[in-house]
Amino acid sequence: MDKEYPRISFKNRINNVKDEAEKMGQMVMETHRSAITLLNDYDEKIADEVVEKSKEIDQAAFDLERRCIKFIAVEQPVAGDLMFIESTIRVSSHMKRIGYLASNIADLSVLIKDVSVPDKLMEDLQYMADYVQMMLSKGFYAFLNQNLDTAKELRNDDDKVDDLFDSILEQVTDNMFEDKENINQTINLIFIARFLERIADRAVDIGRRTIFMMTFKKPKN
């Protein structure tokens, strides 16, 4: 009967890592969701909360990395379990960066709240933000559930985001020529779109890590 205890301990510890990773992922997705609501409906309280949450995500990433390192030291996992723990450290780093990118979006949203933005441009920016939110969820749960097919989809999703960014860039440029008085404020739309593109890139990186974790092969570009 005593021989069962080490296996139970190992299972509990690895489940604890997964639970902490899921909590962090939920926090990141909720923070990003809050940040993108500010694009159409600025709220100073929500903006401040996003900034504070990004700091909490940073701490959560540190705590998760420490838990993973301790797990490796105590349990000495091998093969797939070792790959999962090592990949969790890498994914937490991506999630931490996404938290700060969401904070950047919150900081810039106040600068566009009083700017007259063409409906089509704002609709495309909001669509891009929502699409990136979908990619975040897809990337994180592909990793957590070790879903290879979903992880592979993210590369094509990123192409869509790139197309949206190009369209937004073109629209903002055209709008700047038509509304020269608000150039300084309007250019912030490009920065917001760029931050969204970087978040999408991080989601793709999480997908690529999932593919490597499951196949031990470098994902195709």
Dihedral angle computed from the Cα positions of residues 20, 25, 30 and 35, in that order, rounded to the nearest 10 degrees: 130
Instruction: Give the tens place of pLDDT for each residue, 141-198.
Output: 999 999 999 999 999 999 999 999 999 999 999 988 877 777 777 899 999 999 999 9
The Cα–Cα gap between 82 and 158 comes to: 29
Is residue 131 within 8 Å of residue 160, measured between CB atoms? yes
Is residue 97 within 8 Å of residue 147, measured between CB atoms? no
Average pLDDT over every residue of 87-107? 97
Other CB atoms closer than 10 Å to residue 155's CB: what's the count? 15
pLDDT at 4 over 60: no
pTM above 0.75, yes or no: yes
- pLDDT value, residue 92: 97
The Cα–Cα gap between 108 and 195 comes to: 10
pLDDT at 6 over 80: no
Average pLDDT over every residue of 51-72? 96
Dihedral angle computed from the Cα positions of residues 82, 87, 93 and 95, in that order, rounded to the nearest 10 degrees: -130
Is residue 32 within 8 Å of residue 102, measured between CB atoms? yes
pLDDT tier at 1, thresholds 50, 70, 90: very low
Q: Dihedrals φ, ψ of 78, to 5°?
A: -130, 165
The Cα–Cα gap between 19 and 7 comes to: 18
- pLDDT value, residue 10: 82
Average pLDDT in the chain: 92
DSSP 159-177: HHHHHHHHHHHHHHHHHHH
Instruction: Work out the percent of the chain whose per-residue pLDDT is above 70.
Output: 96
Instruction: Give the tens place of pLDDT for each residue, 20-39.
Output: 999 999 999 999 999 999 99
